[in-house]
């Protein structure tokens, strides 16, 4: 499950790292404080680790428990549909999380996020259309098609995405409003 979601969410992170704003050598010499921020270890503090850890626990808990609660009383839901709902939420939350965390959203980060989502959807739809007996156990045949047809899936995922990302989004807005990152 982790590998599956990682395959569809790694592209925006690579784009953010590769195409992030690089500064010229002249500017680096004129403004050494840009590198002092990193050299002093300010972005990599223990408090940052714990913030990210608790945010990950929050997002994971929201994704699982809201999905579980929304499907709890539905008798025709199977574990593959529930699992697909979880994976869909994880991929979307992860892609949006990258956009929230990126300092400068440019065409490469936005395009890679959209492309990753499209690849995820296309792969899932093709896999679910052709995989009748390709894995042992329950067949994933038509799982995404059945799940996409349910209003409960869309409403639950909309709620999950908003609630899961709300603390990070709020913290990022407050941080960017009150402080400059290099101060």
149-169: per-residue pLDDT in tens? 989 899 999 999 999 999 999
How confident is residue 121, by pLDDT bands cut at 50, 70 and 90? very high
Average pLDDT over all residues of the chain: 82
Highest-confidence segment of 60-64, 73-77, 144-148, 179-183: 60-64
Q: For residue 132, what pLDDT band results from cuts at 50, 70 and 90?
A: low
Which range, 71-85, 101-115, 134-148, is most confident?
101-115
**Full 3-state SS string of the chain:** CHHHHHHHHHHHHHHHHHCCCCCCHHHHHHCCHHHHHHHCCCCCCHHHHHHHHHHHHHHHHHHHHHHHHHHCCCCCCCHHHHHHHHHHHHHHHHHHHHHHHCCCCCHHHHHHHHHHHHHHHHHHHHHHHHCCCCCCCCCCCCHHHHHHCCHHHHHHHHHHHHHHHHHHHHHHHHHHHHCCCCC
Count of CB atoms situated within 10 Å of the CB of 169: 15
pLDDT at 72: 83
* Residue 93: predicted pLDDT: 95
Give per-residue pLDDT as tens, 5-61.
Answer: 677 777 777 777 776 666 667 777 787 776 666 666 666 777 888 888 999 999 999
pTM, to two decimals: 0.80
Report the pLDDT value the prediction gives residue 92, as an integer from 0 to 100: 95
Residue 160 has what pLDDT?
Answer: 97
pLDDT at 143 over 80: yes
Q: Give percent of the chain above pLDDT 70.
A: 79
pLDDT score for 23: 67
pLDDT for the residue numbered 182: 53
- Tell me what pLDDT residue 157 has: 96
């Amino acid at each position: 499950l982790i590998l599956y979601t990682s395959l569809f969410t790694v592209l925006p992170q690579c784009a953010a790292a590769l195409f992030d704003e690089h500064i010229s050598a002249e500017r680096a010499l004129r403004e050494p404080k840009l590198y002092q921020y990193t050299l002093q270890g300010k972005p990599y503090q223990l408090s940052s680790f714990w913030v990210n850890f608790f945010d990950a626990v929050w997002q994971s808990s929201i994704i699982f428990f809201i999905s579980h609660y929304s499907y709890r009383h539905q008798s025709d839901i199977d574990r593959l549909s529930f699992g697909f709902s979880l994976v869909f939420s994880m991929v979307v939350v992860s892609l949006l999380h990258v956009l929230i965390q990126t300092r400068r959203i440019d065409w490469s980060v936005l395009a890679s996020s959209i492309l990753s989502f499209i690849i995820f959807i296309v792969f899932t739809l093709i896999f679910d259309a052709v995989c009748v007996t390709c894995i042992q156990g329950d067949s994933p045949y038509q799982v995404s098609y059945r799940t996409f047809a349910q209003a409960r899936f869309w409403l639950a995922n909309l709620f999950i995405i908003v609630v899961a990302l709300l603390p990070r989004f709020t913290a990022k807005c407050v941080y960017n409003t009150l402080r400059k990152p290099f101060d």
